[in-house]
Amino acid sequence: MDTLGNIGFRQLFHRLVLLKAPGIKDLFVEDLKAPDGFDAVLTYPYIDRMAGLTFDVLAPARFDDERVFGGMALLQVQNRRMMLRRGGVPDETLVKIPRDVGALTETYAEHIAMIDEHYRDNEGVLATRRAEALDHLRNRDFPDDVRVLLAGKDYPNEEVWVRLMGIDEPGYPYGWLMNEPYSDFAVHKGDVLRLGITKDANDEFLLFAMDESLMRGVEAY
């Protein structure tokens, strides 16, 4: 058991997890059925490139004894969907992997397969997610987005956000620039940049881009 604020996306991604969040009962409005005494939800976390880390709610649950109320499953029984975005879930939310995760995965296999198919990403994106050395640069809510230092000769270095798209053959990540730089660099929002890799004063990896980092003819994804 842990809190959401203490764990990263790779400990959650594509694994069934129980969430006990403050106000979880308030999410079940009048036309959504939930049992008395429930205080958690069983969820399947995935990454939506545009909306970030997302928890698809499978069914109401009880956190301490890990009971999942399958008779009130949202999609299978109630024909409803509920998605919780990471940015809207408090850091103090309790999280744990249920002991019977194997059986639960089989029970909700169809729902899980639907999510995996709809949010299937290409191998380039998946390769960037496997790069654990970049985790300290990632946006907590949008794991594909990383902090990058934009460097040039005529202006001070500037920190920008880049949404990773892949890793090229020499091993350098690349992605599209998400915000327009304040200074007049030769790159703009929406451009695809090849990123250099170095280390900072604390011996942690640092990503950087320069004017000549622009990858022409590559479309943003």
Per-residue pLDDT of the chain (221 residues; tens, 9 = 90+): 799 999 999 999 999 999 999 889 888 877 889 999 899 999 999 999 999 999 999 999 999 999 999 999 999 999 999 999 999 999 999 999 999 999 999 999 999 999 999 999 999 999 999 999 999 999 999 999 999 998 877 778 889 999 999 998 788 899 999 999 888 888 899 999 999 888 887 888 888 887 667 776 677 77
Q: Are 104 and 98 a contacting pair, CB within 8 Å? A: yes
In angstroms, the Cα distances linking 12 to 45, 47, 96 are 6, 10, 9
Given a contact cutoff of 8 angstroms between Cβ atoms, the answer to whether 71 and 77 are in contact is: yes
Nearest to 59 by CA among 47, 50, 48, 68: 68
Task: Name the phi and psi angles at 173, rounded to 5.
Answer: -70, 155
Give residues with Cβ within 8 angstroms of 88, minimum separation 6. none
What is the predicted pLDDT for the residue at 212? 66
Q: Quick one: residue 46, left, alpha or beta (phi over 0 = left, psi -120 to 50 = alpha)? A: beta
Model pTM score:
0.92
